[in-house]
């Protein structure tokens, strides 16, 4: 298998394949397919930026607003040198599905700037962040489109963006963007919400097969914010973390890794493949092929593909990255009985807590960390149970059941608005 890549040409080939299967099985009309297959609006702005040395560089930027039938558009802004319009479009589609599946009143959106932020000074990064908001200020708003952090953006950058928007509009509007620092209206629990949501989904699935998670072996590929916090949560719940890796490689110990110690080392900047005192150094490819009960791809897309799919031995795959399985791998693993808990369910905890942040901003009433986590648990458990019920009724995989639920809700909203008419129960 090739080394882990940052991005590929197609982020969500699986979601397109699933949509096609749903369309054939449920006889969606051409209009319904058109609504699902294309975004409502795509915006592309080339941003000129004066650099510290006085030169001017042009940075291509994007915002895709996919569907807002269920509420304002919602989705992150990523800064990455490989950002492309098609990638942003696919991610906006995924976000629409996540919001629909979890029952939060948002549509799907996504944004990005084609830039390597590591090549910018902090002053240049701040100017670029503010420039993005200036260019898109008329397209976003608390009841129109609410951005958030994504790859290479963080609460500091979001704080700059909020400040710029408020200067332009001349009002305080914390609900325009989520993922903010706490002092600017951010939510407690947001930092690890994606990880906690995934842990809850895994726990609920294990209940259906009579397991409680104690000593269940887990391998996690990707040890950024999501993977590292997931390791901590699962360890605290009694799971046995036997392997973890970052982009350079990782470490494996069949007896279990001292998660607290390796987290301290990772968060202090140490690379995981150097942490040999915890176990045997392994590559990312080797981690994916370990004989474990739960495999968590939490890094990038398409890491499980036609090359390695027959070597995957995990009984359960928890998709914490977007699109970690190719279509071919997804179909192969489904036929072979591997249970895949799909990304639109497993990694949706972050957008749920973003919704909580938006609600708190609008009301001016802020919740404790315990309240946020309790509400997140309610939403994630409900989303899992509804997906499980759909799966049992239709005999589908978890992925197809999740897509069917999400699509149903989007099309119901479109029908209730009078935008589509579903004849003879089509799509229901």
> Is residue 47 situated within a structural domain?
yes
241 DSSP β-pair partners:
218
CATH assignment of the domain containing 74 = 3.40.50.10860
Q: Which pLDDT score, from 0 to 100, does residue 213 have?
A: 84
| Torsion, Cα of 382, 383, 389, 391 (10° steps) | -160
Question: 101: domain range?
Answer: 38-176
Q: Which pLDDT score, from 0 to 100, does residue 13 have?
A: 65
> Is residue 288 situated within a structural domain?
no
353 DSSP β-pair partners:
none
Of 74, 89, 98, 110, the catalytic one is 110
Q: Which pLDDT score, from 0 to 100, does residue 25 have?
A: 62
Alpha helices in 12-145 (DSSP H): 13-26, 30-37, 85-102, 122-136
Q: How far is Cα 115 from Cα 108, in angstroms, rounded to an integer?
A: 23
Q: Which pLDDT score, from 0 to 100, does residue 232 have?
A: 95
Structure tokens at 384: 């899992």
Q: Which pLDDT score, from 0 to 100, does residue 20 have?
A: 73
> Is residue 51 situated within a structural domain?
yes
> Is residue 328 situated within a structural domain?
no
Catalytic residue at 110? Answer: yes
Structure tokens at 18: 């699933």
> Is residue 15 situated within a structural domain?
no
Report how many domains make up the chain: 1
Q: Which pLDDT score, from 0 to 100, does residue 276 have?
A: 64
**What angle separates helix 349-363 from helix 193-208, to the nearest 10 degrees?**
130
pTM: 0.90
> Is residue 131 situated within a structural domain?
yes
Task: List the chain pLDDT tens, one digit each, 428 residues.
Answer: 333 333 333 445 666 676 777 776 666 777 887 778 888 999 999 999 999 999 999 999 999 999 999 999 999 999 999 999 988 988 899 899 999 999 999 999 999 999 999 999 999 999 999 999 999 999 999 999 999 999 899 999 999 999 999 999 999 999 999 999 999 999 999 999 999 999 999 999 999 999 988 889 999 999 888 999 999 999 999 999 999 998 888 899 999 998 888 888 877 777 776 766 778 889 999 999 999 999 999 987 888 999 999 999 999 999 999 889 988 999 999 999 999 999 999 999 999 999 999 999 999 999 999 999 999 999 999 999 999 999 998 778 899 899 889 999 999 999 999 988 765 444 44
> Is residue 85 situated within a structural domain?
yes
Q: Which pLDDT score, from 0 to 100, does residue 228 have?
A: 92
> Is residue 65 situated within a structural domain?
yes
Q: Which pLDDT score, from 0 to 100, does residue 143 have?
A: 97
């Amino acid at each position: 298998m090739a080394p882990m890549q940052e991005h590929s040409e197609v982020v969500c080939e699986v979601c397109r394949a699933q949509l096609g299967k749903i369309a054939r099985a449920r006889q969606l009309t051409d209009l319904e397919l058109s609504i699902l297959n294309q975004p409502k609006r795509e915006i592309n702005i080339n941003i000129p930026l004066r650099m510290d040395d006085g030169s001017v560089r042009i940075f291509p930027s994007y915002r895709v607003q996919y569907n807002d039938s269920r509420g304002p558009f919602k989705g992150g802004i990523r800064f990455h040198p490989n950002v492309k319009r098609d990638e942003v479009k696919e991610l906006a589609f995924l976000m629409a599905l996540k919001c629909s599946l979890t029952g939060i009143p948002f549509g799907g959106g996504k944004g990005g700037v084609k830039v390597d932020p590591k090549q910018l000074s902090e002053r240049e990064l701040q100017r670029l962040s503010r420039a993005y908001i200036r260019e898109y200020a008329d397209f976003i708003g608390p009841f129109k489109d609410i951005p958030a952090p994504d790859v290479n953006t963080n609460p500091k950058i979001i704080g700059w963006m909020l400040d710029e928007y408020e200067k332009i509009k001349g009002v305080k509007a914390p609900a325009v963007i989520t993922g903010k620092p706490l002092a600017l209206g951010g939510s407690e629990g947001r930092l690890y919400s994606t990880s906690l949501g995934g842990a809850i989904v895994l726990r609920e699935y294990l209940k259906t097969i009579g397991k409680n998670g104690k000593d269940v072996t887990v391998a996690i590929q990707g040890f950024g914010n999501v993977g590292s916090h997931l390791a901590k949560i699962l360890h605290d719940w009694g799971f046995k973390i036997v392997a973890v890796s970052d982009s350079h490689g990782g470490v494996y110990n069949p007896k279990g890794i001292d998660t607290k110690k390796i987290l301290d080392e990772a968060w202090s900047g140490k690379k995981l493949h150097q942490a040999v005192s915890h176990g045997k150094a392994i590559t990312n490819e080797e981690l994916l092929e370990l004989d474990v009960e739960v495999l968590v791809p939490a890094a990038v897309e398409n890491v499980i593909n036609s090359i390695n799919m027959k070597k995957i031995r995990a009984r359960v795959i928890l998709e914490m990255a977007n699109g970690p399985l190719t279509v071919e791998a997804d179909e192969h693993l489904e036929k072979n009985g591997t249970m895949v808990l799909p990304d639109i369910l497993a990694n949706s905890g972050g957008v749920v807590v973003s919704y909580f942040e938006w609600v708190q901003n609008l009301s001016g009433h802020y919740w404790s960390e315990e309240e946020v986590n309790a509400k997140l648990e309610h939403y994630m458990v409900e989303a899992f149970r509804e997906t499980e019920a759909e799966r049992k009724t239709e005999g589908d995989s978890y992925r197809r059941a999740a897509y069917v639920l999400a699509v149903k809700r989007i099309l119901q909203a479109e029908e209730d608005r009078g935008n589509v008419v579903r004849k003879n129960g089509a799509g229901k």
